[in-house]
Amino acid sequence: MSIENVIRLFAGTVILLSLALGAMASPLFHSSHWLWLTAFVGFNLFQSSFTRLCPLERVLARLGLKSGGAACSA
């Protein structure tokens, strides 16, 4: 898997998990404060489209994953 695919997988998983924990209609509801995590991930994806700065991309590169081309595309 390329870095970009892992970033998409990670972002999607975190968003779905935080929605499951933060949405009152969910059977896994814990607290509406989990929605802040969803907002953080969304904001990070938004800013990375302009700045090309993605902390997860740097971590994955140091772990040895190879880039497939574009940086932090979501």
pTM over 0.85: no
Contacts of 20 (CB under 8 A, 6+ apart): 26, 28, 29
| Residue pair 52/72 in contact by the 8 Å Cβ criterion | yes
Average pLDDT over residues 55-64: 94
Domain positions in the chain: 3-62
pLDDT digits (tens, 9 = 90+) for 3-33: 999 999 999 999 999 999 999 999 999 999 9
Residue type, 55: P
The yes-or-no verdict on residue 73 having pLDDT over 50 is no
